[in-house]
Amino acid sequence: MVRRLLDAPVPRAALKPCATPVILGRIAYVSDFDVLVMGSGPGGQRAAIAAAKLGRKVAVVERRDMIGGVCINTGTIPSKTLREAVMYLTGMNQREMYGSAYRVKEDITPEDLTQRTRHVMSRQIDVIRSQLSRNHIPLLPGIGRFADPHTVHIDDGSDQERVVHAKKIIIATGTKPARPSSVEFDERTIIDSDGILQLQELPQSMVVVGAGVIGIEYASMFAALGTKVTVIERRNEMLEFCDREVVEALKYQLRDLAVTFRFGESVSAVEKYERGAVTILESGKKIPAETVLYSAGRQGLTDRLDLEKAGLTADNRGRIKVDENFCTEVDHIYAVGDVIGFPALAATSMEQGRIAAHHACGEPVHDISKLQPIGIYTIPEISFVGKTEDELTQEKTPFEVGISRYRELARGQIVGDSYGVLKILVNPEDRKVLGVHIFGTQATELVHIGQAVMGCGGTVDYLVDAVFNYPTLAEAYKVAALDATNKIRQLAVLSD
């Protein structure tokens, strides 16, 4: 009897045992592929599809319960869907219009929030399955580990292992939340970001340890839901790679939602009690809260890969080193996505996957675009592309600033966004756009307009002359561009 090993239709060739099957112990089945991708997150998916489109025989290894990776199952998608549900159910955006106490639903339960999340996750998993299947890429269920540089054993929990030989291997296994060994996680009172979706009720109070992107995104969601949030961050600042004014505006808005920030403070202990926990800081402060969310960075998922059998090693955070083509120290093995570290964004991982696949298949590779937008789904959201004011000042590049406030735009008033702001940084000499920084509704979508101008070699004059649909938030570009060019003109007039 042949076990059904594959979830997706498999090209006939892939099912044919290779010429010299290796049958020893638990090994049940052997197959050959041109490219084996370990992990089905954004990087892995994209790598697999790119290689398949180039005519290669490709397979993806993934745990049955993790199709789509962390992105779909515990990370980006659940958190962004949760955010959308929070925005909607709290009526955040409607308060300008219907008063500050306005809520669509008075008692929001985790069930209200996660209903939507489960729905989106299952649809998204369907999409991935169907994309892989359309490209004839079998999904090999289980956890892979190297047996040698070209051989991966896949353990699906049954009593037999699958063995795959592959000419090229792309590691895209992702990360998991890092858990300090001193902290006693219990998935109820003391949790990491993976535990958010399992919360049984919305806490009245919460301590968030770590003001990185994930920590601050969840802090703002719970603050919007009415939870009293305290954010503890070892450093004296947060989101250092963002525009300073934007980060200050975010802190201002979050404080307005009753968030307390403790910068430059470290946690010395967390004491757990029946109905919550007390977080004790090194400065002696004690902070009671129903829930403590640890967001202390992430750890590369490489510990079960037996990397040494492939001739590879990971650093102390489980990350794998790669070159500009995402090739590891072993020629035919690549690594992409969160497992290689910064920036660990889904969008970037996809690009890395595509580039790695093209390089592995001997296709000419475009460099990864230098213009990578950053999107942070706080409430309000943040997005930017290009340089910050600080970076430009440091490298002594003069710039002029153009600003537009949403509240002066008709669409800003229609959507009830009184705090949003779009800022463009312009080189007064060649009038090129050096950076776009947005804080407010639709920031993560709108940034792509400025990015296109920068990426296609346009100048601020394109934005001055362009006709924008009215009423849209995109008009902010025109207002900001006019602001910048007026300032540049004043400079020219005075120095004439």
Task: Write out the residues near a second copy by the rule CB under 8 A.
Answer: 42, 53, 76-77, 80-81, 84, 88, 94, 97, 104, 115-116, 119-120, 123-124, 127, 345-348, 350-351, 366, 368-369, 371-375, 383, 407-408, 410-411, 413-415, 442, 444-453, 455-458, 462, 465-475, 477, 486
- Residue nearer to a second copy on the CB measure, 304 or 366: 366
Closest CB 136 distance from a second copy, rounded Å: 15
The 10 Å CB-count burial string (b at 16+, else e) for 59-85 is bbbbbeebbbbbbbbbbbbbbbbbbeb
Closest CB 364 distance from a second copy, rounded Å: 13
Closest CB 242 distance from a second copy, rounded Å: 14
| DSSP type of residue 111 | H
Can you read off the two tokens belonging to residue 200?
Answer: 């049984």
- Strand partners of residue 460: none
| DSSP type of residue 67 | T
Can you read off the two tokens belonging to residue 258?
Answer: 């009753």
Distance CA 275, CA 467 (A): 57
Closest CB 115 distance from a second copy, rounded Å: 8
Distance CA 350, CA 359 (A): 14
| Neighbour tally for 463: CB within 10 Å | 27
- Residue nearer to a second copy on the CB measure, 179 or 432: 432
Helix (H) or strand (E) holding 448: helix 443-455
- Residue nearer to a second copy on the CB measure, 294 or 439: 439
Alpha-carbon dihedral angle through residues 116, 122, 127, 131, given to the nearest 10 degrees: 160
Q: Which residues contact 308 (CB under 8 A, 6 or more apart)?
A: none
Closest CB 81 distance from a second copy, rounded Å: 5
- Residue nearer to a second copy on the CB measure, 63 or 116: 116
CA-wise closest residue to 230 among 176, 134, 295, 311:
295
Please report which residue ranges of 54-105 form alpha helices under DSSP H.
69-73, 76-90, 95-98
Distance CA 306, CA 377 (A): 35
Please report which residue ranges of 76-198 form alpha helices under DSSP H.
76-90, 95-98, 110-134
- Cβ contact 185:191 at 8 Å: yes
- Residue nearer to a second copy on the CB measure, 140 or 376: 376
Closest CB 431 distance from a second copy, rounded Å: 13
- Residue nearer to a second copy on the CB measure, 325 or 372: 372
Please report which residue ranges of 315-369 form alpha helices under DSSP H.
346-360
- Residue nearer to a second copy on the CB measure, 49 or 202: 49
DSSP 270-294: EEEETTEEEEEETTS-EEEESEEEE
Closest CB 144 distance from a second copy, rounded Å: 25
Please report which residue ranges of 160-264 form alpha helices under DSSP H.
213-224, 244-256
- Residue nearer to a second copy on the CB measure, 54 or 178: 54
Closest CB 105 distance from a second copy, rounded Å: 9
- Residue nearer to a second copy on the CB measure, 91 or 141: 91
Closest CB 346 distance from a second copy, rounded Å: 4
- Residue nearer to a second copy on the CB measure, 252 or 470: 470
Closest CB 357 distance from a second copy, rounded Å: 13
- Residue nearer to a second copy on the CB measure, 155 or 445: 445
The distance in angstroms from the start CA to the end CA of the chain is 88
- Residue nearer to a second copy on the CB measure, 116 or 272: 116
- 195 CA to centre of own chain: 17
Count, residues in the chain = 496
Distance CA 60, CA 40 (A): 7
Alpha-carbon dihedral angle through residues 378, 380, 386, 389, given to the nearest 10 degrees: -110
Closest CB 93 distance from a second copy, rounded Å: 9
Helix (H) or strand (E) holding 233: strand 228-233
Closest CB 450 distance from a second copy, rounded Å: 8
